[in-house]
Amino acid sequence: MADPRIEVTFTGPVATITVSRPDKLNAFDIDMLKGLSAACDTVEGNADIRATILTGAGKAFSAGGDIKAWAAMTPNEFGHAWVRFGHRVFERLATLRMPVIAALNGHALGGGLELAAAADIRIAETQIRLGLPETGLGMVPGWSGTQRLVRRFGAQVVRRMALGGEIFSATEGLGLGLVDHVVETGAAVKTAQAYAERIAKRGPAAVEVAKLMVAVASDEDNGTAVEALGSILVAKTADLQEGVSAFAEKREPVFKGEW
């Protein structure tokens, strides 16, 4: 389901997904989550794309979830239609076949930081702030803030944000490993584009497999990563071609174990 507030553009081998709701600091509602999922399908379905940039329109990256979008939900609706669905969408983004670079042109708080964490590389402008303020509202991070963020950044920094409500600057975030590069105001997207083009010059198959291997080593989505790696490998074998041919010709396959 496409949503006009989730924009997808292409520049050569690089795709850009832009969260475009600047009047609400790019805060997400349900339709935007659906739009992000659709954007992931669009990007992954384009075989020419080798890297994806994720950014926000206006002065914010994303303020996370729109409070008005979930405040009136019943506990059941909140847990399933909001939290679990959002978690699945962010997981879809995190497991795109190509590297994702988050261009943090503005604050990334709560769900916005969880969104940024789904990227492989984070490039932050110097003025931004990073944090998980949810417990100040009487709720907890629900879009992988206590899971993916712990695996990627470490438990202690997440404790400081989620329990103590600490908000970090871009420079502090760099020292803590929350972001990978800090650039001047207005330079995040341009820097991300250059980084994406750098990735695009490398072997696409090797990059995709390397991303999967790192995910396994980081204990992130091991089942999917292992099955993807195994399926890619087996799909290139002569045995698979023989098995498919034998099925079509209604005969017993003759496997040779050739890679």
Q: For position 166, what pLDDT does the model report?
A: 97
Domain range enclosing 66: 6-200
**In terms of domains, do 55 and 105 share one?**
yes
Residue 110 in any domain: the answer is yes
Name the average pLDDT for the chain.
Answer: 92
Residue 106 in any domain: the answer is yes
Domain count for the chain:
2
Q: How does residue 230 score in pLDDT terms, banded at 50, 70 and 90?
A: confident
As a whole number, mean pLDDT of residues 211-234 equals: 79
Residue 155 in any domain: the answer is yes
Residue 212 in any domain: the answer is yes
Token pair, residue 181, equals 């590069």
* Phi/psi of residue 94, nearest 5 degrees: -65, -25
Share of the chain above pLDDT 90, in %: 65
**In terms of domains, do 115 and 210 share one?**
no
Pick 221 or 74 by higher pLDDT: 74
- CATH classification at residue 117: 3.90.226.10
Q: For position 82, what pLDDT does the model report?
A: 82
- Residue closest to 52 by CA, chosen among 98, 112, 95: 98
**In terms of domains, do 54 and 152 share one?**
yes
**In terms of domains, do 95 and 56 share one?**
yes
User: Which residues are designated catalytic?
Assistant: 114, 134
**In terms of domains, do 58 and 72 share one?**
yes
**Which pTM does this prediction carry?**
0.90
**In terms of domains, do 211 and 181 share one?**
no
Q: Is the pLDDT of residue 239 over 90?
A: no
Residue 48 in any domain: the answer is yes
Q: For position 1, what pLDDT does the model report?
A: 61
Q: Is the pLDDT of residue 153 over 70?
A: yes
**In terms of domains, do 132 and 221 share one?**
no
Residue 259 in any domain: the answer is no
**In terms of domains, do 50 and 148 share one?**
yes
Which residue in the block uniquely carries the two structure tokens 């789904």? Answer: 118
Condensed to tens digits (0 to 9), the pLDDT of residues 66-94 reads 888 888 878 888 888 888 888 899 999 99
**In terms of domains, do 195 and 208 share one?**
no
Residue 255 in any domain: the answer is no
Share of the chain above pLDDT 70, in %: 98
Residue 65 in any domain: the answer is yes
**Alpha-carbon distance 140 to 89, whole Å?**
18
Token pair, residue 64, equals 């996370």
Cβ 114 vs Cβ 64: under 8 Å: yes
Q: How does DSSP classify residue 3?
A: -
**In terms of domains, do 127 and 226 share one?**
no
**In terms of domains, do 129 and 219 share one?**
no
**In terms of domains, do 78 and 184 share one?**
yes
Cα 20 to chain center, whole Å? 17
| CA gyration radius, the chain | 20
